[in-house]
């Protein structure tokens, strides 16, 4: 994996933006997008750019199960506010948090098959989850409903009024689908990601460390700040 260490997340967002631009220039037409705090600086660069994304397709990694699209903490709302209001895509796909489980899983897998992902943007959880694929999830999983771990609920409660309000399940693209992307760009910032980053890059490949499977992909760039690199 190609590892780039930046001073901070602002510099990382600029570097990530350069890589997104390069991929688009080289004919990437389907972007896999992530939510959470990690991609915010990248999306800021994308919003401020002159690039027109209206011929591109976007496919998001995940959505909380049970949240309507217009809920303030839904990933639909996050994407509207952080990117799509300023930069609409030709078509954008995000799992429907209120969708019937079986139908939604089928629909999403079909979408990923129909629009193979050229560049997948990823963050990483403190427990090394990617998408919402928690430790123990099979590397062969496609889209599914994932039960969120205490660590993830705890990390995400900052966005909700209280821990009880954090959804306990989410629709997530599976690891198999993530690995099918031609290129992967993972970002991580802050000391609390340092152990996950170390295990992803240097640890054994194990379903207990979902991001460790990225060691088997042939085109992964990891952009981390100095704090997230502090255990390397």
Residues with active-site annotation: 62, 127, 129, 134
| Stretch of 32-40, 43-51, 91-99, 108-116 lying at the interface with ligand F6P (CB under 6 A) | 32-40
CA separation for the pair 132, 145 (Å, rounded) = 9
Are the C-beta atoms of 137 and 207 separated by less than 8 Å? yes
Instruction: State the first-to-last Cα distance of the chain, in angstroms, to the nearest integer.
Output: 14
Q: Residue number with the shortest CB distance to ligand F6P?
A: 123
**Cβ neighbours for 3, distance < 8 A, ≥ 6 positions apart:** 201, 221, 222, 224, 229, 232
In the complex with ligand F6P, which residue's Cβ is closer, 34 or 220?
34
Backbone angles phi, psi at 55, to 5 degrees: -105, 5
- Specify the residue, 28 or 79, whose C-beta has the smaller distance to ligand F6P: 79
Determine if 95 is a binding residue for ligand F6P (CB under 6 A).
Answer: no
> For ligand F6P, which residue of 6, 38, 41, 137 counts as binding (CB under 6 A)?
38
CB of 137 to ligand F6P, least distance (A): 12
Q: How many CB atoms lie within 10 A of CB 27?
A: 7
Assess 37 for contact with ligand F6P (CB under 6 A). Answer: yes
Residue 41 or 111: the one with the smaller Cβ distance to ligand F6P is 41
* Residue 28 sits in the site that holds ligand F6P (CB under 6 A): no
Question: Residue 142 and residue 147: Cα distance in Å, rounded?
Answer: 15
Q: Which residues between 46 and 65 bind ligand F6P (CB under 6 A)?
A: 61-62
């Amino acid at each position: 994996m190609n590892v780039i260490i930046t001073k901070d997340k602002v510099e990382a967002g600029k570097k990530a933006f350069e890589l997104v631009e390069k991929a688009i220039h080289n004919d990437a037409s389907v972007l896999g997008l992530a939510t959470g705090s990690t991609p915010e600086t990248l999306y800021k660069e994308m919003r401020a750019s002159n690039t027109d994304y209206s011929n591109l397709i976007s496919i998001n990694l995940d959505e909380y199960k049970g949240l309507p699209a217009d809920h303030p903490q839904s990933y639909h709302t996050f994407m509207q506010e952080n990117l799509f209001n300023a930069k609409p895509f030709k078509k954008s796909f995000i799992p429907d948090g209120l969708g019937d489980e079986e139908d939604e899983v089928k629909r999403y897998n079909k979408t990923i098959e129909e629009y193979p992902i050229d560049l997948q943007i990823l963050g990483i959880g403190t427990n090394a989850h990617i998408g919402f694929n928690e430790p123990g999830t099979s590397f062969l999983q496609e889209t599914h409903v994932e039960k969120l771990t205490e660590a993830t609920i705890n990390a995400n409660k900052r966005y909700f009024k209280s821990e009880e309000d954090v959804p306990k399940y989410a629709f997530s693209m599976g690891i198999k689908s993530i690995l099918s992307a031609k290129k992967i760009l993972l970002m991580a910032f802050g000391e609390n990601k340092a152990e996950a980053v170390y295990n992803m890059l240097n640890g054994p490949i194990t379903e207990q460390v979902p991001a460790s499977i990225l060691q088997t992909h042939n085109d992964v760039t990891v952009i981390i700040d100095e704090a997230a690199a502090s255990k390397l």
